[in-house]
Structure 1
């Protein structure tokens, strides 16, 4: 066997496990609430991580997109939406204006009609935020500013309650210099409720804001499914938070495992812990009676 053939054979063998064990999770399940935590990636030139993007399809087929990742990841979000036969987005939620959460919005808005944009009042003087605002203005998309205490409906069967940010937003001196934690703590934080089932999306909340929410709301935060705050990092996801939210299924969207301690703590308190970098895109399907089915694109040691 010549060297070229041997190289091809070795590459094929390396790819074989993924081919054998990869699952197609980008399929709908009618009459259920389906959540797709997308596995995104960026190349080595990217100035930030790939970020968060979650597709949610209501029992009657409405589509919500929470965040849309880094600009380099936009095509992956679009491909996932098309794989799910999405032809329009009913609701887009921008959790906060960092590049890894709203970076590809202009691409998404060009590819799909969007019925409603929800965002916070936070202003952020960056080129990516300017692109986000321009896409909204250019396409005349309706916008609603969300803050603590607001509620809205996602179809006829799913209600959404907003826990963060507060109103008004008070900017620190010298903003936006050294503002990463401040901006993350202004994340739009949502709890979706479908019958007795629930799901939490808290953007990039840091531990200070987690603590404030636990102090104020306590058991009202409890959610069966949760996106790990701030990509599963130890800037967030304290034991106090983990005990309060009491999640059964937790998904961290990240290009790597930021904190083994966070992973272990969620597991210690009864949660399955999924990481998109290892598990691929994660689909959670739920009915309205706290019955859940979780499917990872790839098998990993995480679960």
Structure 2
């Protein structure tokens, strides 16, 4: 993960003072702690992500409240398997169908899916292909009048306000002619839990993604291209920093997947690795703050439309867990513990003294520069708010606390106020106009309308006292 660190939004001056005390005392561990969730055994919640066992192919289902996302549908002869799995989960319609790229092991089963379920909209890589399967896929989408979207890096897909779907690849204009390199890569976020679906993206695509500045950290990674050595390069794995990696593949497949080199890179990166050839279908459940992993091999109940709880006892080998604090002790049966709760007068008031703190600054504010901007978002600005962004870079030799600073367009009428962010030397943080989950390299304004004009506008960065630190036009 990048080494720039951030804190949640500062709500009182006391929090700023605490940050100052930590910095001045040398206690910087809080700046470098991993800002994400760990796997917790037994976690359930609104999000259930299934990595289906479809042999040497790919198919993933995300269930979120009453919404359904299907990413790929395996080979032609696995289409009925995907349909049966969806039916077991109680699915009646698909809100978003994603075709990561036009290879048969990803779109072969689509016709079976179209025949059984209504589809609300389709996201496609739009990579040119003469494949008859792909032509039939496009014909079906057209015949059924299904809204069609071509994927482009920076795009956000809306299906529920609590679920963020960000396209990381391919970029506008694509990446040459290779179909795998132009595979769709998605980052799906719920609360602080992120899942990254890499499709069949190659190392070349991963290297381009690393340069975009988009948030890529994810607790769960669907490993690219079935574990091929041409995907999952070391820099990409370091940026994603997954706790869990899932590989979709068939046992004894003719390609030798997963390749030894990929397994070695995963071992060095540290995630727990699950494989559909060994574990069957894999289920990740999350409540937005933690997540758990279950496998078909160990728990047949994963197919219940109501998410099951992990049985008590020792977790299966390889199942990640986090120790939780014990519950307070309960008195044994037959013992009564007297408790008296005093009556609180309804008109009770507690005087709280007002506290006014002067603006504070840690580090040299002049180190922070606006290093890059994008005001003209790809596609429709109103549908791609995170296509507008401003990147801040620390050009100095020491950390700088950005707290209470503002970022505006040239009119200055709708300022965005920064939470407390510490940017380390030579590191960057990208500020996106739309909504998302803060992470080590991204902050979100949370706007519902564009901020910057497509031409003639510029971004203005001011510190907490209103002094202009930098400004930049596109």
- TM-score range normalised by the length of the shorter chain: 0.7 to 0.9
Matched pairs, number: 255
Give the corresponding residue for 1:222: 217
Say if 2:69 and 2:94, in contact at 8 Å, map to a contact too. Answer: yes
The farther-off stretch of 77-86 and 112-121 is: 112-121
Where 1:295 maps in the other structure, the secondary structure is: strand
Unaligned 5+ residue runs, structure 1?
Answer: 1-28, 42-49, 173-181
Say if 1:30 and 1:61, in contact at 8 Å, map to a contact too. Answer: no
Q: CA RMSD in A?
A: 1.9
- Separation of aligned partners in 1, 2:102 and 2:246: 21
- Separation of aligned partners in 1, 2:229 and 2:165: 27
Give the corresponding residue for 2:52: 38
Give the corresponding residue for 1:139: 144
Give the corresponding residue for 2:58: 52
- Separation of aligned partners in 2, 1:90 and 1:31: 19
Give the corresponding residue for 2:162: 157
Give the corresponding residue for 2:180: 184
- Separation of aligned partners in 2, 1:158 and 1:93: 16
Unaligned 5+ residue runs, structure 2?
Answer: 1-42, 252-256, 299-315, 320-474
Give the corresponding residue for 2:39: none
Where 1:183 maps in the other structure, the secondary structure is: coil
Name the larger-Rg structure: 2
- How far is the alpha carbon of 1:139 from its aligned partner? 1.5
- Separation of aligned partners in 2, 1:154 and 1:37: 20
Query: How has the CA–CA distance of structure 1 residues 127 and 301 changed in structure 2, closer, same or farther, with 3 Å as cutoff?
Result: farther
Are 2:292 and 1:298 equivalent residues in the alignment? no
Deviations 1:180-227 (A, max 9, x none): xx1011111111111111010121011111112123337x21111110
- Separation of aligned partners in 2, 1:33 and 1:136: 27
- Separation of aligned partners in 1, 2:175 and 2:318: 40
Are 2:226 and 1:231 equivalent residues in the alignment? yes
- How far is the alpha carbon of 1:154 from its aligned partner? 3.0
Give the corresponding residue for 2:263: 263
Q: TM-score, normalised by structure 2?
A: 0.51
Are 2:241 and 1:246 equivalent residues in the alignment? yes
Give the corresponding residue for 1:177: none
- Separation of aligned partners in 2, 1:75 and 1:31: 28
Say if 1:121 and 1:169, in contact at 8 Å, map to a contact too. Answer: no
Give the corresponding residue for 2:133: 128
Are 2:233 and 1:210 equivalent residues in the alignment? no
Query: How has the CA–CA distance of structure 1 residues 275 and 30 changed in structure 2, closer, same or farther, with 3 Å as cutoff?
Result: closer
